[in-house]
Amino acid sequence: MRKLTLALAFYSLAASSVFAQTPPPKPAEDDDVVKISTTLIQVDVTVTDKRGKIITDLKPEDFEIYENGERQDITNFSFVANVKTQPAPTPKTSSESPPPPPPTPIKSEQVRRTIALVVDDLSLSFQSASYVRNALKKFVNELMQDGDLVAIIRTGAGIGALQQFTTDKRQLLAAAERVRFNPLGTGGTGAFAPIQNSAAGQTNASDDQDEETGGGAENEANDFRESVFVAGTLGAINFIVRGMNQLPRRKSVMLLSDGFQLFSRQSNGALESSRILYSLRRLVDLANRSSVVIYTMDARGLQTLGLTAEDDVGGLNTNQIQQQLTARRDRLSDTQEGLIYLARETGGLPIYNNNDLNQGIERMLDDQSYYLIGYQPDAETFDAAQRRFNKFVVKVNRKNARVRYRSGFFNLTDEQVKTLPAKETPARQIQAALTSPFAAGGIGLRLNTLFANDARQGSFVRSLLHVNAKDLKFVEEADGIQKAVFDILAVSFGDNGAVVDEISKTYTLRVKGEAYRKVVSDGFVYNFSFPIKKAGAYQYRVVIRDSETQKIGSANQFIEVPNLKKERLTVSGIVLENLTAEQWRRRATDAPPATVPTGASEPETTDPLTDTSLRRFQRGTILRYAFEIYNAKSDAARKPNLTTQIKVFRDGKPILEGTNVPLDLLGQTDLQRIKFAGALSLGGEISAGEYVPQIVITDNLAKKKRQIATQFVQFEIQ
């Protein structure tokens, strides 16, 4: 097995202890929010008072539910509360800001809220983009809670923008920062185009004039162009909702948009149903089946529909000005109608004519408690000859109660939807896994992507992919050789969603005897590196497909690549090595191996390649870690003054906080790439689970705001 080389070497040996922890909480039971089957129809219903506050004390007898006008007997009823008090703010003990803690790993049973913040930058105006960007940053910094799984997705970005839902605020803030005005979209500098004193502006007094000047044809062309962009927006939301179907409980999508029209306007002024309405109906049905509630927010806020400083009305008479203002009001109403329809049909809230985008997001977060009501359908519910769509009506016998619920569902059970035939080619399977915001679990993968810098090749990123070979299908050949064939696609995306680098290969793995047993038992590591053309935020995605079984596995990781030319203190990725107590003793003392009892084997050599990629260790062992430090300042004697500290987190809470230790530079000659290594003792009493050690480096010679650099890595104790 090849050793891991990242221009790193293990230097000083300092062991810290990780103490025994309390067992993790038992997983909570998942709630199947929406069921559409021949035995049960189940729908989530939100009930608020006239002030918008959730009503929590209703009983089954307070509800009436109708399917296609016929009242149904309620057989299942429960109230799902999703309220969590904010923890009290931690008092500051010093004037200096501590380094931010690493993101908390989260499992599906720990998810409280799944939120997709979808920015429709295909429609956003220049003005709206700025408001949306600031609102998203405030949400990440102030409103996210423990147990929130969040994605920020731009409809106009490439497939790289469809990142995995995450708890990592760094990743979310980087996504928010990329929200910009899209000059290729339909948005202008402001919410509406200014009134112009032009031939086009003066020829809207009648339909005849439109036909003579071509204005009507131009409007029709603009409507068609907008419908193309709206189709792209709805397609992105459809893709997101399909991915969210895999997650537990009720999920929320918040669409921030400048709106879209349900109907297209013809050259004669008539309105007709467009393909947008058909796409919306399909999206609504998919969202209802996936337990996804869609909230919509008009990013334009409260608009002044009168004349503005940008309007040029010179030479226009009163009637012409009024016609232009009427068209502006109609435009606002028409584009808001699409947002209102999408939200109300999926049980969400439409938020419009509101200048406080943050308040709108808070209203969505507060609107997460609901009643779960079920009934047994009759035979006609899924009879295609009777009807194509089944409509809900829910009533509550409580004064001033306001009820929101899903509009209904098409004439198919969930089982029928899941078994619809789908022709998937290998290329389509790989592409779907690559672009999905969720990891595919058919083949177990563990990805660890590390940044480093080398004097000769400069900055680079190396990705280590551990493959669980038990999930691959081996076919026996002659002489006992076992063969597995699999495809690997590795892609790096820039922060604009575009592909930066790509590796696509088909591999044939042939092993036999003890080598085969070891590969199946331990798995294997695939490693690849991409050169870094420029600093920035990157997503690394890897897909593997077994040619024999067509099973798919995928993994992705977000990484920020620093710009070392800015001369800021920086820490490389962390390399791991797992040692037994005997191996640690030999390393620390350079002593020969201890006497091995009869019938036992000498401790095997370590494998940092596997340890760094798999990151799964046993109790009673030693975990060594190594990294490099870049851009440390030096004093007059050309000596850096650095201290190091180790912190260990579990479930977002610190369980170990070491002291600041001066870094020993003994034997090091390249002070641009200072190497350091330390160790953690994984005691026998430590609890199984996920842990995150964080390295904190302090440069005592740098300016206060640039003194600290951190790096972290996640590992698992079995």
Give me the DSSP letters along 622-647: EEEEEEEEES--B-TTS-B-EEEEEE
Length of the chain: 718
Kindly report, residue by residue over 525-573, the tens digit of the pLDDT: 998 888 787 888 888 889 999 999 999 998 888 888 889 988 999 999 9
User: Which segments of the chain have a pLDDT < 50?
Assistant: 1-30, 85, 87-95, 161-162, 199-215, 420-421, 593-603
Identify the pLDDT of residue 53.
87
Give the number of other Cβ atoms within 10 Å of residue 457's Cβ. 12
Task: Note whether 680 and 658 are within 8 A (CB).
Answer: no
- 177-215 in b/e form (b: 16+ CB < 10 A) is ebbbbbeebbbeeebbebbbeeeebbbbeeeeebeeeeb
Kindly report, residue by residue over 76-128, the tens digit of the pLDDT: 999 988 755 454 444 444 445 567 777 776 666 677 788 888 888 877 777 78
The pair phi, psi for residue 387, each rounded to 5°, is -165, 160
Q: Give me the domains of the chain, ranges plus CATH numbers.
A: 15-25+425-717 (2.60.40.3880), 38-81+370-412 (2.60.40), 112-356 (3.40.50)
Identify the pLDDT of residue 158.
55
Secondary structure in 3-state letters for 173-228: HHHHHCCCCCCCCCCCCCCCCCCCCCHHHHCCCCHHHHHHHCHHHHHHHHHHHHHH
Task: Note whether 664 and 694 are within 8 A (CB).
Answer: no
- Dihedral through CA 193, CA 197, CA 202, CA 203, nearest 10? -60
Identify the pLDDT of residue 24.
35
Identify the pLDDT of residue 132.
87
d(CA 123, CA 299): 10
Contacts of 548 (CB under 8 A, 6+ apart): 472, 473, 475, 484, 485
Identify the pLDDT of residue 386.
77
- pTM exceeding the 0.75 threshold for the entire prediction: no
Identify the pLDDT of residue 646.
92
d(CA 501, CA 495): 13
Identify the pLDDT of residue 605.
66
In 3D space, the residue among 683, 713, 686, 711 whose CA is nearest the CA of residue 696 turns out to be 711
Give the number of other Cβ atoms within 10 Å of residue 522's Cβ. 16
Task: Note whether 407 and 284 are within 8 A (CB).
Answer: yes
d(CA 445, CA 462): 16
Identify the pLDDT of residue 590.
59
Q: Is residue 710 classed as helix, strand or coil in its secondary structure?
A: strand
Residue 491 vs residues 497, 542, 558: alpha-carbon distances, Å: 11, 6, 12
